[in-house]
């Protein structure tokens, strides 16, 4: 019973309380703070990110005739300056691109890879898994970065400007500095102890031995020089040149302060690992929902398959007519089931036989949807099904718990005047990554390999996410683009948040497509996140709402999470207009901009 979208999505533009903003001043121009505005409507293209300096970098490129891919790279590079604990050239990510001419969606897998010497025992010592916190701040956790190669691949395929030109705004921002806000200081404070383990990190991010002061100007001259070198020599310098040598030496001999007593276990990254790294061009996942095409990342990310399966499970329910409690119940249960299947089936397809097509089939979703009851709650962990041989309402398999993923990362969304769109999620894993700064280079290395299962999630079930040589760890990143029946963009969005990315994207999509919320309100709505666990995480807005008690009466259990995700999105409006939307509060609020304001 597929129900077409029964309204014009383009009219659901803005809440009355928010205002539009056009292009801001170029970043790095004296480190004056740029105002954060969560929604903007206008012409010439749009950029939405968590940071105003980064959004301004993308707008600067669009204003000068660059396309969405060019602007996305410039925005991402600027985020490496202002959001160094969430993203940067020491990490990786997933890039989803809509080409307006062909009306087709393409994706790039720029996920980090394990060293070629890695095996399933990467995080095991003396038969026991290394404590997670010890693994994070170590060379063992660092995968070969994919972000610089992703930028170059995207530009080679779809860009109109050279990398050197697009790195200029970020280089300027790193050299001249940006204004420290509450979020940057708080994130630094949360990492202060482990940053002090590594003298180069402490020197950069704890100026004069102290936390950066809100309102002060933070400069990163080492990163400015690194960007200048990449601009001159190309990204090959990071994979085969001087920067590559510095990365290898840092991973294999972590520059730890001996007085700290920290055991920064060395990794085994080699020049061969960096030289062998390749970004993967691959087809997106596609799910039909309410007559729309929902496109996202295929494995190695689990985002596209898990969001897609949950949407297929929800397809039979008219969420537009459901009460809030009915809506949340169905959304939570669909998430629970989809995560059960994610844990069993999704890993790096170069190593695992991932049934992507079957996971996204409506037939399989229907066989899982019948597990949901209106007046009862499934017991977690729910057992996975078999997408290759669906059995209606079967819950007889062996369940496995969902493993932990770091909750940092960042997302940006861009559209240009020609109608091209980019949805791009990039990361260094948890906030602060490995905590290890490459000496003299100004960027932190990722701890992405901790996204692998250290040991099998369940001894009785095959775990597709154990480490392996050159293997990509499973991700939850879900950069998404939704197209209408004519192949034109409706909305594009994504979020950071580790495994909560999947539920944030799912909840935002259903809030916008089904519940009739303007995009900025769908992003701002209080979130729930169920990941096949005994309790569902709730933000305070739901924790303190009447719906919580009504859901508990059905059997739901909860735990509180102060903040889940930090989404951004763009929406196509009539007559060449775009709407950009970002967070109103989370991470201090996001930054939505357009080239020319409609107001």
Q: Is 498 annotated as a binding residue?
A: yes
Q: How far is CA 261 from CA 196, 264, 447, in A?
A: 11, 9, 20
* Whole-angstrom distance, CA of residue 538 vs CA of residue 7: 30
Query: Strands 558-560 and 536-538: what pairing?
Result: parallel
Query: Exposure pattern of 105-125 as b/e (b: 16+ CB <10 Å)?
Result: bbbbbbbbbbbbebebebbee
Based on the residue annotation, tell me whether 409 is a catalytic residue of this protein. Answer: yes
* Whole-angstrom distance, CA of residue 552 vs CA of residue 17: 33
Query: Exposure pattern of 346-371 as b/e (b: 16+ CB <10 Å)?
Result: bbbbebbebbbebbbbbebbebbbeb
Q: Is 102 annotated as a binding residue?
A: no
* Whole-angstrom distance, CA of residue 59 vs CA of residue 83: 18
Query: Exposure pattern of 161-191 as b/e (b: 16+ CB <10 Å)?
Result: bebebbbbbbbbbbbbbbbbbebbbebbeeb
* Whole-angstrom distance, CA of residue 135 vs CA of residue 555: 37
Q: Is 423 annotated as a binding residue?
A: no
Beta strands in 131-214 (DSSP E): 178-179
Query: Exposure pattern of 393-409 as b/e (b: 16+ CB <10 Å)?
Result: ebbebebbbbbebbbbb
* Whole-angstrom distance, CA of residue 568 vs CA of residue 561: 20
Chain CA centroid to CA 115, Å: 23
Give the DSSP letter of residue 280. Answer: E
* Whole-angstrom distance, CA of residue 33 vs CA of residue 367: 53
Q: Which residues contact 375 (CB under 8 A, 6 or more apart)?
A: 554
Task: Provide φ and ψ at 340, rounded to 5°.
Answer: -60, -40
Query: Exactly one of 409, 437, 504, 508 is catalytic; which is it?
Result: 409
* Whole-angstrom distance, CA of residue 264 vs CA of residue 489: 46
Q: Is 139 annotated as a binding residue?
A: no
Give the DSSP letter of residue 545. Answer: S
* Whole-angstrom distance, CA of residue 194 vs CA of residue 214: 21
Q: Is 178 helix (H, G, I), strand (E, B) or coil?
A: strand
Q: Quickly list DSSP for 365-417.
A: HHHHHTT--TT--PPSSPPP--TTS--TT---S---PPPP--S--EEEEEEET
Q: In this structure, how many other beta carbons lie within 10 angstroms of the beta carbon of residue 3?
A: 16
Q: Is 53 annotated as a binding residue?
A: no
Structure tokens that stand for 143 in this block: 């995968």
Q: Which residues are catalytic?
A: 409
Residues flagged as binding site: 111, 451, 475-476, 498
Residues flagged as binding site for L-glutamate: 111, 451, 475-476, 498
């Amino acid at each position: 019973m597929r129900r077409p979208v029964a309204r014009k999505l383009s009219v659901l533009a803005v809440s009355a309380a928010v205002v539009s903003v056009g292009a801001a001043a170029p970043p790095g121009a004296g480190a004056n703070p740029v105002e954060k505005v969560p929604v903007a409507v206008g012409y010439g293209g749009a950029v939405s990110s968590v940071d105003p300096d980064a959004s301004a970098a993308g707008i600067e490129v669009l204003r000068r005739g660059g396309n969405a891919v060019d602007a996305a790279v410039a925005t991402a590079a600027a985020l490496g300056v202002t959001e160094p604990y969430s993203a940067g050239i020491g990490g990786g990510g997933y890039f989803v691109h809509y080409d307006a001419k062909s009306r087709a969606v393409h994706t790039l897998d720029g996920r980090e890879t394990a060293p070629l010497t890695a095996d399933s025992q990467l995080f095991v010592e003396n038969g026991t898994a290394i404590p997670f916190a010890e693994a994070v701040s170590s060379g063992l956790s660092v995968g070969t970065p994919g972000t610089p190669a992703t930028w170059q691949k995207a530009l080679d395929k779809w860009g109109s400007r050279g990398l050197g030109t697009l790195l200029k705004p970020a280089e300027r921002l790193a050299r001249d500095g940006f204004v420290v806000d509450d979020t940057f200081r708080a994130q630094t404070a949360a990492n202060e102890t482990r940053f002090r383990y590594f003298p180069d990190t402490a020197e950069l991010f704890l100026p004069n031995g102290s936390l950066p002061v809100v309102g002060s100007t933070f400069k990163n001259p080492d990163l400015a020089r690194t960007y200048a070198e990449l601009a001159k020599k190309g990204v090959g310098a990071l994979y085969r040149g001087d920067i590559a040598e510095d990365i290898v030496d840092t991973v294999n001999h972590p520059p730890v302060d001996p007085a700290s007593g920290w055991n920064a276990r060395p990794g085994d990254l080699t020049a061969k690992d960096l030289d062998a790294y390749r970004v993967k061009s691959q087809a997106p996942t596609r799910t039909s929902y309410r007559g729309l095409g929902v496109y996202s990342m295929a494995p190695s990310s689990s985002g596209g398959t898990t969001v897609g399966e949950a949407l297929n499970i929800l397809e039979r329910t008219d969420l537009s007519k459901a009460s809030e409690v009915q809506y949340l119940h169905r959304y939570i249960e669909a998430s629970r089931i989809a995560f059960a299947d994610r844990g069993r089936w999704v890993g790096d397809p170069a190593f695992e036989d991932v049934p992507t097509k079957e996971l996204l089939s409506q037939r399989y979703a229907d066989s899982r949807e019948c597990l949901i009851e209106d007046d009862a709650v499934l017991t977690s962990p729910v057992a996975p099904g078999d997408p290759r041989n669906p059995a209606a309402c079967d819950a007889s398999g062996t369940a496995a718990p969902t493993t932990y993923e770091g909750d940092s990362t960042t997302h940006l969304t861009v559209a240009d005047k020609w109608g091209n769109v980019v949805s791009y999620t990039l990361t260094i894993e948890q906030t602060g990554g490995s905590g290890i700064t490459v000496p003299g280079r100004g960027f932190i290395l990722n701890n992405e390999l901790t996204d692998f299962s250290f040991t099998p999630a369940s001894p009785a079930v095959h775990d597709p996410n154990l480490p392996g040589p050159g293997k990509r760890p499973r991700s939850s990143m879900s950069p998404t683009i939704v197209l209408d029946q004519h192949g034109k963009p409706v909305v594009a969005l994504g979020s950071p948040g580790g495994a909560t990315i999947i539920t944030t994207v799912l909840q935002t999509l259903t809030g916008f497509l089904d519940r009739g919320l303007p995009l900025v309100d769908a992003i701002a709505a209080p979130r729930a996140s169920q990941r096949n666990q005994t309790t569902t995480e709730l933000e305070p807005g739901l924790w303190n709402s009447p719906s919580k008690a009504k859901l508990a009466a059905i059997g739901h259990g909860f735990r509180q999470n102060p903040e889940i995700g930090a989404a951004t999105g763009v929406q196509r409006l009539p007559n060449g207009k775009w709407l950009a939307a970002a967070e109103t509060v989370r991470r201090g609020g996001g930054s939505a901009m357009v080239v020319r304001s409609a107001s």
